[in-house]
Amino acid sequence: MEIIEKDLSLQEKLNILADAAKYDVACTSSGVDRGGKKGSLGNSCAAGICHSFAADGRCVSLLKILQSNECVYDCKYCLNRASNDRVRTTFTPEEVSQLVIEFYRRNYIEGLFLSSGVCKNPTYTMELMYRSIDLLRNHYHFNGYIHVKAIPNAPQELIEKIGYLADRMSINLELPTAEGLHELAPHKTQASILKPMSLVQNRIVEHRLAIGKDPHMERSGSNRYLSGTIFDTAGQDRIRENASYPAVDSFRTPSLYRPDPFVPAGQSTQMIIGATGENDYQLLTTTQKLYQQFDLKRVFFSAYVPLNEDSHLPSLDTAPPLLREHRLYQADWLLRYYGFQAQDLLSNERPNFNILLDPKCDWALRHLELFPVEINRADYATLLKVPGIGTKSAIRIVKARKTGVLTFEALKKIGVVLKRAKYFITCQGKMQYHLRIEEDFITRQLTGEDYKSSWEIDNPQTYQQLSLFDDNQFASAQPIFSDIQKSLHGQL
C-alpha cells in the first residue's frame, strides 16, 4: 500500500525525505582533507565540521536525505517499509543538486549524505543516486563532502562508479547476527551486505597501493606508541589476495599519473541497538571484527527508536536505550584510541556493560594489581589505561615531564580528571591522599560520581554535558570537531 503524490512542493519533498532519513546516525563529514580549487565549490576537512545542532542535540553536518522513500523491501524496524502506509516521493537528481549547492553556499552544510529506500529495485535506485552524485560533481563542480549509502544487492559496477565520486560509502550491517537480520530484514542477507563492503574495501586498498600508501586506512597518530591495538593484531592477512597490485611496469611518476581517489574517507557502517536480543559483548566483538576485516573507518550505533508495531519488535512505548548506546561508543573509542580489545572489556561471563561505570573505570577496577602508576615514569600506553587520563592529557604529560617533575597541581592544569585518576596514580611516589587501593571502596566512590550522569543519558530531558573522554577540555587550540562532538554524547 502506498500513495505516490505527484504534486508535492520541493519543501514538502524535502521534509518527507529528510524525515525518512533521520534515523541513520552516521552523519559526520570527517575523514578526508581536500583543499578547494578555483571553479569548484567546496573543500573538506578531515576532522569534520558541524553546522548546527538539532533539537535532539545531534550535530547537523550534511544534508541528510533519501533519494526516495519508496521501498519494495519490508524491514520490520523501518518507517519506509513496503507494508507501511505513507506518502512516497522521489527526488530528481536535479533537485538533490540544487539543494546541496544552495545550502552549501550559505554555509548551512558540509555536504550531502544520500541514502535511499529501494525504489523499484536496487539497480534502478543506485542508478538514480549515481546520477545525482554525477550531476553534482561533474556538472556543478561540487567539491565538498559526499557520503553515499550502498543499497544491498546493487550491481558491482554502480557501486564502483559511485565510489569514485563519493568521499565515504557505507552499508548498514543493521544487526550483528545473521539470524537477527533474517528475522527483521527478510529481504537482506548478511552476504548481500558484506559483499559490497569487501568490494569497496578492495577498491580502497588498490587505490592506496597505487598511490604508494599503506593499504590500511590511517588511524590516530598516537596509536603508534601503543602495541597490540586491534589494528595491529588484525595482522598480515588484511592484505587481501584478490586485491590486484599495480604491476612494476605500470609505475609512473605521480605528477603524470594520479588515479582518481576511491572513497578516500573510508567506509562506515551502523548497527541498531536494542531491537533484537544481542548482548554488548556480541556487539563489541562484531565491531572489532568489522574494523579488522573490513578496515572500516567507523562503526556507528543507533539506539532503537520504535516506529512500527510488530510482534518481532519491542513495543512502541520502549524508550531508546541511550545509555547502552553511549557505553558502546565509549568502548568503541577505547578500541580505536586506547589500545583496548573487546575481550579486555567484556567476556561471555560478563557480556554487558556496567550501567554505573564507564568501561574504562570498570576495567581498571578489575585490574587493581596494575595500579597505582607513577606519572613521572609510566609510558604512554600505561598512562592511557588510567581512568581520568585521556589521549590528550597523556601526550601532554609525556611532553611536560621532560622539562620538570609533575605534581598533582600540574596534572590538574594539564587536563587530568583527578577526581577519577587520584585512586590510580602517584606523583613522585606519593598518592594525592591516603587512599586505600581497594576495589569496593573505589567502586563506591566512582559510582557515586557516575550515577548521576548515567541516569541523565537515559533521561535526556535532564541532560548534563558529559564527556566521552577523560580529558578536561583544556588547551587544545582546536575545539571539538563534528566527529568528536557527536561521539561525546554517543549520538552519532
Partner 1 sequence: MIVYTCEDSFEAILTCIYDAWASGLGHRNLKLMVEPVGNLELFCEYRHVDPDSTKVESVIRSIHKKISGYAYQMIFRCAMSCSSEKADIIYRFLLLGFHYGRQITDMVQLPPVLALFELDRAVGNEAHYFREFIRFLNMRGNVLVAHIEPKSDVLTFLAPPFQDRMPSENWMIIDDNRKSAVIHPSDQDFYLTTLTEEEFKRLKTLEDPDDPYIDLWKGFFETIAIKPRENYRCQRSHIPLWYRKHATEFQNPLP
Interface residue list for ligand SF4 (CB under 6 A): 71, 73-75, 78, 80-81, 117-118, 185
Nearer to partner 1, 64 or 422 (CB): 64
Is the peptide bond prior to 259 cis by the omega test (within 30 degrees of 0)? no
Q: Which is nearer to partner 1, 107 or 236 (CB)?
A: 107
Tell me which residues in 453-472 interact with partner 1 (CB under 8 A).
Answer: 460-465
Binds partner 1 by CB under 8 A, chosen from 53, 251, 257, 441: 53
Burial classification of residue 191, based on how many CB atoms lie within 10 Å of its CB (0-12 exposed, 13-18 middle, 19 or more buried): exposed
Backbone angles phi, psi at 126, to 5 degrees: -70, -30
Nearest CB to ligand SF4, comparing residues 185 and 468: 185
Grid coordinates given for 51: 553546522
Q: Which of 28, 58, 69, 86 binds partner 1 (CB under 8 A)?
A: 58
In this structure, is the dihedral angle defined by the CA atoms of residues 300, 301, 305 and 311, taken in order, positive or negative?
A: positive
Choice between 243 and 319, CB closer to partner 1? 319
| Residue 63 binding result from partner 1, ligand SF4, none, given CB thresholds of 5 to 8 Å by partner type | partner 1
Which residue, chain included where needed, has cell 615531564?
401
Q: State which of positions 310-329 bind partner 1 (CB under 8 A).
A: 319-320, 322
CA distance 424 to 373: 6
Considering CB distances under 5 to 8 angstroms, the limit depending on partner class, which of ligand SF4, partner 1, none binds residue 117? ligand SF4
Q: Supply angle C-alpha 176, 178, 180, rounded to 5.
A: 70
Q: Which of 1, 3, 6, 11 binds partner 1 (CB under 8 A)?
A: 11
235 touches which of partner 1, ligand SF4, none (CB within 5 to 8 A by kind)? none
118 binds, among ligand SF4, partner 1, none (CB under 5 to 8 A by kind): ligand SF4
By C-beta, is 185 or 365 nearer to ligand SF4? Answer: 185
Residues 382-411 that bind partner 1 (CB under 8 A): 396, 399-400, 402-404, 406-407, 410
Distance between CA 143 and CA 39 in Å, rounded? 10
Q: C-beta of 321: minimal distance to ligand SF4 in Å?
A: 19
> CA-CA distances (angstroms) from residue 357 to 324, 438, 446, 462, 471?
12, 16, 7, 19, 17
Mark out the alpha helices in 263-417 (DSSP H runs).
Answer: 280-294, 322-337, 342-345, 359-366, 380-384, 391-400, 408-414
Comparison of 80 and 190: residue with beta carbon closer to ligand SF4: 80
Return the residues of window 263-282 that contact partner 1 according to CB under 8 A: none
Kindly provide the residue ranges of all beta strands, DSSP E only, lying in 218-346, ordered along the sequence. 267-273, 298-303
List Cα–Cα distances, 152 to 117, 122, 262, 287, 469, in angstroms.
Answer: 11, 7, 19, 20, 35
How many Å apart are CA 42 and CA 4, to the nearest integer?
35
Q: Does 221 bind partner 1 (CB under 8 A)?
A: no
Task: Give whichever of 236 and 465 is closer to partner 1, judged by the CB atom.
Answer: 465
Shortest Å distance, C-beta 415 to partner 1: 9
Answer yes or no: are the C-beta atoms of 25 and 452 closer than 8 Å.
Answer: no
Tell me which residues in 79-118 interact with partner 1 (CB under 8 A): 99, 102-103, 105-108
Partner in contact with 399, chosen from partner 1, ligand SF4, none, beta carbon below 5 to 8 Å by kind: partner 1
How many residues in the chain?
492
Binding partner at 81 among partner 1, ligand SF4, none, C-beta below 5 to 8 Å by kind: ligand SF4
